[in-house]
Amino acid sequence: MERTDLVFNALADATRRELLTVLARTSPRTATQLVGDFTITRQGILKHLDVLAQAGLVEVQPKGRERRYSLSPRPLDGVNDWIEAINATWRERLTRLKDLVESDEPL
């Protein structure tokens, strides 16, 4: 998979999005610290963190026996570009809607 696909795949899961949100508030954190914020097991958290790391959305640093995870938001730039393009299409459509409703045409 290309990097953007890995990013989308990572974002497609609600738990992973929640993990990113938690890490955005407080980073770095260990898996053990993160477990308290979630209802899934530590092993489950580690699996999700691994998917996020492969997409480049979190960075992993070893710290003693545990690893510390930090948010790395740079890969989201590609996603932003993509959403921007969709917004552009919608803006064009809404501009045409505005022209229509502000015209004299009977609706």
Using CB under 8 A as the criterion, which residues of the chain lie in contact with other proteins when the complex forms? 4-5, 8, 11-12, 14, 17-18, 20-21, 23-25, 27, 70-73, 76, 79-102, 107
For the chain, the maximum distance between any two Cα atoms, rounded to a whole number of angstroms, is: 72
Q: Which is nearer to other proteins, 20 or 51 (CB)?
A: 20
CB of 31 to other proteins, least distance (A): 18
Q: Which is nearer to other proteins, 65 or 106 (CB)?
A: 106
> What DSSP designation does 37 have?
T
- Cis peptide preceding 106, ω within 30 of 0: no
- Ordered DSSP codes for 47-98: HHHHHHHHTTSEEEEEETTEEEEEE--TTHHHHHHHHHHHHHHHHHHHHHHH
Q: Which is nearer to other proteins, 65 or 105 (CB)?
A: 105
| Residue recorded with tokens 């092993």 | 43
Q: Which is nearer to other proteins, 65 or 85 (CB)?
A: 85
CB of 45 to other proteins, least distance (A): 17
CB of 42 to other proteins, least distance (A): 22
